[in-house]
Structure 1
């Protein structure tokens, strides 16, 4: 009897899932309309936003991943999904999307096909929901590949989506997931045979996506650095940084990992940060020795509530009882100084800077070490400084006077699209430098008609150039 190759069986399983998705998507497109696409997106959104389901998904996510906290995941599931639904409410994703008599071009919206989405354990409900909604809004089918710890949450989410689909008569095969705990072989095959790959999370998966041969939208690592200058509202800045740093136990790639505080207001700002729950540690070796174990982040400290994190760091009794996060002074930046990188915990590295130019230089150095292209922030009343920062730093976003975690991925009080995946441009090795949103899940066919010619004379193009340098 011939033994069954388990890897071959896993690959065949993925191929069968993709085949079913292709069949479902073809029918979805052929029989589609804007109303059908909109209803499908609404069904997926309500599946995660309905309060009892949202609560269960949040509880399940924390229970099975050990990351984040329930209250904040409920907020994240609700606000990220509601914001996305606001963003796509009036988007035209079916039929003619533009018709320009001047150019003679009529543009018709077309789905991409089958989307493969690799999603992280940090947001096992909100991130797949975001991708699923965008995919359905644009007429696609989608297959989600969750992290092993995220499987139970993803399975439950899909069950809720199917319950909503049944109310509309929609095919379950429009939204599927790679079953079981997953494997590199399963994920790799999905990367190879989907029509578009969306990857959030592991930078190893990002690299695999970009080398898979399939068009890919993958996002870079975060390592947010925020400047607090001498003109800032110090109390407001401290409250915003504290709220952002502690939200969902710093699981977000947009969580502040470092702040750079100008000397002129350093003591005053640190006093405000203490009022907001930040305990200052001046000996960075004390944190480095406990936040990392054998070269890896301590699992007892990452994405945990304040009390267990403080215990894991050996700080019980050394910090105030109401401490919500640790602020640790440091000078070093680079591979030999792990505090200058992403920490996925309620630990905030603090740098001092003599003046604004020095603060910009420190921020640039941090970003070039890790997190290039993602985002930086500034708390200031000087309207010129965000522009200075934007021109000096390899970054796609400069967040001004806001709680970074809440602002970067879209907020109701700024104009960024709601998303859980932030493109980092060429700086972060990404194909996009904007928040992943619905426009990335659609393509178009152009009907091109003849128009009166618009051929310029050579003199019209080169006249000023010739006048300056001659022919």
Structure 2
């Protein structure tokens, strides 16, 4: 009996799943919108129904966060994301501009390689499968090895429901024989068209190095500035609630608080009353020395842990009432390790005098490890809010809200997403919250402009807009031709 090495088995599985997904995608690429939406709705319903069980599985396998918080993230990744994209057209004619004579037609990107992290293993899988199928793409999920079982189960739940509703077999799948070689094979495989990379910097860098489109994330060393004009009580409550949510495993979570000097002591009192436990300088130094590697990367055992567990690991006393640990910071940079991104229940705290100084300190923190990601400001001063929006090297300026849930679009009007782009300055292709439009290609049928009235062309900018289809013989002809082409290609 022949025995294959694990890496060979993983490479072969990656090849098989990618090819099978592409074949299924080709049979699905001309599906009607009603069919696509019916399949997506079935997957959403299944994910919501299983949200609690999947959340518990994720916690049990990784040890990160709280099961109930993971349930909420699963529900958000399914129902919250679906509510934001369900009315987005992805099939057939998307838009028609009868003035500029441009018709836009939706098309899938192809097969998506969906890399998922251990911090949000089930919710990210649910989210990526959903936006992928909504745009008629194939999706092959490659989990983080430390969360392989729960991610595979989340994908199984989605696949079972989707295929029962008419999704082609093999369109969506998950790697189960996991090795670095297998994941690299999947990312580089000719049948894969795009990579959705959510995870650590090494994996994201590898995704961007594959020579094909990749939508990646970046670290989120998120500063939270509390201005003297803020509602300090609300700010304290939101900061503690947000930082403690699932033990800070969402990358948009606050990492350091910058308090305006006149309200700093009040903010401390209010945070303490809500479960923030201040570390002594010796305790903070002890924790920092054990939590990070020499290169600044967090040691996995400290990621996503409760304050009490962090106390046990670092050998410091932490009361049972503590919801987050807070350390006063004297500066930003390698000499001050706790000014780094901390995907766990530890928060830095600094005091500055005035929003100009708070603004500069926020920039320091972002440039130290969060360029392009997010910043939080608690203020009732529109001037300082606008200054933060204009000057900060961040693409999500979250005002008077949670960093964690605000950044993903749960408590704000930002598009709901579990993958947050930090833009070019953060090493990513886009600065958006990734959603269905990013995995949807658009064809354009454009007519010779000689046949367009010059005045109408000038008024309309000469380009396609969002003018609704007009009832005309020409419009009816276009619809008939599109239907005929789709029917022929299905055959």
TM over 0.5: yes
Determine the structure 1 residue equivalent to 2:264.
Answer: 266
Instruction: State yes or no: 1:352 paired with 2:348.
Output: no
Out of 157, 161, 185, the position equivalent to 2:181 is: 185
Distance 1:300 1:18, change over 3 A: closer
DSSP-derived class of the 1:270 partner: helix
1:357-416: CA deviations, max 9, x gaps?
1111111011111011000010001011121012221111110000111111012x5211
Determine the structure 1 residue equivalent to 2:477.
Answer: none
DSSP-derived class of the 2:118 partner: coil
- Deviation, 1:60, is 0.8
Between stretches 294-303 and 123-132, larger displacement belongs to 294-303
- Deviation, 1:448, is 1.1
DSSP-derived class of the 1:396 partner: strand
Determine the structure 2 residue equivalent to 1:327.
Answer: 326
Is the CA contact 2:143–2:152 (under 8 Å) kept in the aligned structure 1?
A: no
In 2, distance between residues paired with 1:86 and 1:207?
Answer: 32
DSSP-derived class of the 1:171 partner: coil
What's the TM-score once normalised by structure 1's chain length?
0.91
Is the CA contact 2:11–2:183 (under 8 Å) kept in the aligned structure 1?
A: no
Out of 433, 437, 440, the position equivalent to 2:438 is: 440
- Deviation, 1:251, is 0.8
Distance 1:233 1:294, change over 3 A: same
Instruction: State yes or no: 1:153 paired with 2:154.
Output: no
Instruction: State yes or no: 1:136 paired with 2:133.
Output: yes
Alignment of 1:46-125 (within 5 A): 46-50=45-49, 53-125=50-122
- Deviation, 1:167, is 2.7
DSSP-derived class of the 2:394 partner: coil
Determine the structure 1 residue equivalent to 2:304.
Answer: 303
Is the CA contact 1:225–1:256 (under 8 Å) kept in the aligned structure 2?
A: yes
In 1, distance between residues paired with 2:5 and 2:435?
Answer: 39
DSSP-derived class of the 1:173 partner: coil
Unaligned stretches of 5+ residues in structure 1: 457-471
Distance 1:149 1:106, change over 3 A: same
1:83-103: CA deviations, max 9, x gaps?
111101211000001111221
Is the CA contact 1:54–1:78 (under 8 Å) kept in the aligned structure 2?
A: yes
- Deviation, 1:54, is 1.5
DSSP-derived class of the 1:260 partner: strand
Out of 173, 176, 185, the position equivalent to 1:176 is: 173
Unaligned stretches of 5+ residues in structure 2: 456-491
Determine the structure 2 residue equivalent to 1:223.
Answer: 221
Determine the structure 2 residue equivalent to 1:386.
Answer: 385
Determine the structure 2 residue equivalent to 1:13.
Answer: 13
Instruction: State yes or no: 1:429 paired with 2:430.
Output: no
Instruction: State yes or no: 1:289 paired with 2:299.
Output: no
Is the CA contact 2:228–2:262 (under 8 Å) kept in the aligned structure 1?
A: yes
In 2, distance between residues paired with 1:201 and 1:320?
Answer: 32
Distance 1:300 1:218, change over 3 A: closer
- Deviation, 1:151, is 1.1
Task: List structure 1 runs of 4+ shifted beyond 4 angstroms.
Answer: 1-9, 293-296, 453-456
Determine the structure 2 residue equivalent to 1:27.
Answer: 27
In 2, distance between residues paired with 1:173 and 1:167?
Answer: 13
Q: Report the number of matched residues.
A: 449
In 1, distance between residues paired with 2:6 and 2:232?
Answer: 59
1:57-79: CA deviations, max 9, x gaps?
11111111111110100111112
Across the aligned residues of Structure 1 and Structure 2, the Cα RMSD in angstroms comes to 2.0
What's the TM-score once normalised by structure 2's chain length?
0.87
- Deviation, 1:338, is 1.4
- Deviation, 1:349, is 0.3
